[in-house]
Amino acid sequence: MAAAPVSLSGRFKGSFAYFTIKDRLPQILTRVIDTLHRHKNEFFEKHGEKGVEAEKRAISFLSKLRNELQTDKPMIPLNDELPDTPIWNQYLEYQRNVSNGNGQPSWFQSPWLYVECYMYRRIHEALIHNPPIDDFDPFMEAKIQSFFESQQAIIAVCTYLQELLKNIEDLNENQLKEEFFKLLQVSLWGNRCDLSISAGEDNSQKSSLLQSLNDFKSFILVDDMENLWSLLLNSKKRTTTKESITRVDMILDNAGFELITDLVLANFLSSSKLATEVHFHGKCIPWFVSDTTKHDFNWTLKQLQSANHMWMSRCGMNWEGNLKKGVWVYHDHMFWTLPHEFSSMAQVAPDLYAELQKSSVIIFKGDLNYRKLTGDRKWEFTVPFHQALNKFHPAPLCSIRTLKAEIQVGLKPGQGEQLATSESEWMINGKYGIIQFDASV
Ligand SMILES: O=P(O)(O)OC[C@H]1O[C@](O)(CO)[C@@H](O)[C@@H]1O
Ligand SMILES: [Mn+2]
């Protein structure tokens, strides 16, 4: 097999990676600094002078970080004592070795995936160094705001789900499949709502998606919904005869509306017995602005429960019930906030890999997960997904993402080129999506 292509990187001037590093990442840092500023009084009320001192130090660390980025300085080792610190520093060593002769790894020269992940880990470092504000999530406010701004869309999907559950037992196989496809697409388009692409600006779902699914259908560039359905249906048929389990793992992406669509899909899988267990995987630290942490996950369930809307609160109750019963399980693992592509998981996080091997199918939500699945490289559009996965096969898997980075594999010959002639931004504007499956283990 030919060697894997080069990584996307800021060194390719004019690429989306280049503009992200040049424009969007500094904007995100500026927003974090502003957020800390705005919370000064709160820190004072909570912790007195110590809180204000900590805020000042964190801001000065972050301003320095922004300057390092904008002047393309070399990446420096992390200087905190979290469990993942040595792994990050080893990864920097590795980047130094591979960039042999091309100078030090730096913001614009190194792989985009590495530098973007590194920025979020350094933001975390800024806070970790500064107790008593070390548990402050600088993106929390934006995540909460986006949740409330999507309120109407959330009500619409929760209501749809609750109506559907009333007679789910009476649905025949075809009707069940039709509903499954609908909720998969809702979860796909829910991925448009991340806050990193908009540099933290409002990007919430304002309208109900359910009425628009048909209009959006032609924007699904790879549609492997049938494969996913067959896998789950066959597994269900075996389950009823043998009392065995069908375990679906969801590697979560953004909090807010997207998370609701993922939970709605999970509820459907559990209630229809297409899955006997659903395992969710979230992030251990604030990540790519809107990614779901355990705190966001629990906050979301509590919000739903106390909502002044019957079907929203019903969803919240049922979902907490599923977690209590153990049919739903929430996990986090530091691997999800490391810079490694997933083909290194077996080596870097063998415990997580072994956990995922127990799955019947793993659903990877979102764009960043797609970049990590495929190594964030300059693949030809027609390269098979299986090849781009580069031996990452813990279990059958499916990526559900809207396109927000210049990477896409598994297209038909000419498909990518044709899109490029009609719409230059097709890979980055989040208008297109994929539901891309890989069965082979
Ligand atoms: O939330 P998602 O779907 O992973 O999207 C995040 C995407 O936004 C970006 O920050 C845009 O640069 C990408 O790095 C990343 O792929
Ligand atoms: Mn995200």
Q: Is the CB of residue 254 below 6 angstroms from any atom belonging to ligand 1?
A: yes
Say which residues have a Cβ less than 8 Å from residue 288's Cβ, sequence separation at least 6: 116, 120, 194, 196, 368
Q: How confident is the model at residue 397 (pLDDT cuts 50, 70, 90)?
A: very high
pLDDT tens, 250-289?
A: 999 999 999 999 999 999 999 999 999 999 999 999 999 9
Higher pLDDT, 237 or 353: 353
Q: What's the pLDDT score for residue 374?
A: 98
Q: What's the pLDDT score for residue 99?
A: 78
CA of 197 to the centre of ligand 2 (A): 9
Return the percentage of the chain with pLDDT > 70, whole number: 95
**Site to substitute for ligand 1 among 196, 254, 373, most atoms within 8 A of C-beta:** 196
Q: Is the CB of residue 433 below 6 angstroms from any atom belonging to ligand 1?
A: no
Calpha distance 256→267 (Å, rounded) = 17
Peptide bond into 132 cis (omega under 30): yes
Say which residues have a Cβ less than 8 Å from residue 1's Cβ, sequence separation at least 6: 387
**Site to substitute for ligand 1 among 21, 24, 194, most atoms within 8 A of C-beta:** 194
Return the percentage of the chain with pLDDT > 90, whole number: 91
pLDDT tens, 124-157?
A: 999 999 999 999 999 999 999 999 999 999 999 9
Q: Is the CB of residue 196 below 6 angstroms from any atom belonging to ligand 1?
A: yes
Q: What's the pLDDT score for residue 102?
A: 72
Phi, psi angle pair for 365, to nearest 5°: -90, 140
Q: Is the CB of residue 398 below 6 angstroms from any atom belonging to ligand 1?
A: no
Q: What's the pLDDT score for residue 94?
A: 96
pLDDT tens, 162-185?
A: 999 999 999 999 999 999 999 999
CATH number of the domain located at residue range(s) 16-128 in this protein:
1.20.930.60
- 199 pLDDT more than 90: no
- 410 pLDDT more than 70: yes
Q: Is the CB of residue 392 below 6 angstroms from any atom belonging to ligand 1?
A: no
Q: What's the pLDDT score for residue 316?
A: 98
- 207 pLDDT more than 90: no
The CATH number fitting domain 140-438, selected from 1.10.30.50, 3.40.50.10880, 1.20.1260.10, 3.30.420.40: 3.40.50.10880
Q: Is the CB of residue 116 below 6 angstroms from any atom belonging to ligand 1?
A: yes
CA of 68 to the centre of ligand 1 (A): 22
Q: Is the CB of residue 404 below 6 angstroms from any atom belonging to ligand 1?
A: yes
Q: What angle do CA 372, 376, 381 make, to 5 degrees?
A: 115
Query: Quick one: 50 exposed, middle or buried, by C-beta within 10 A (0-12, 13-18, 19+)?
Result: middle
- 196 pLDDT more than 90: no
Q: List the domain boundaries for the chain.
A: 16-128, 140-438
Q: Is the CB of residue 339 below 6 angstroms from any atom belonging to ligand 1?
A: no
56 DSSP assignment:
H
Residue nearest to atom 9 of ligand 1 (CA): 197
- 195 pLDDT more than 80: no
Q: Is the CB of residue 367 below 6 angstroms from any atom belonging to ligand 1?
A: yes
Residue nearest to atom 15 of ligand 1 (CA): 368
Does pTM surpass 0.95? yes
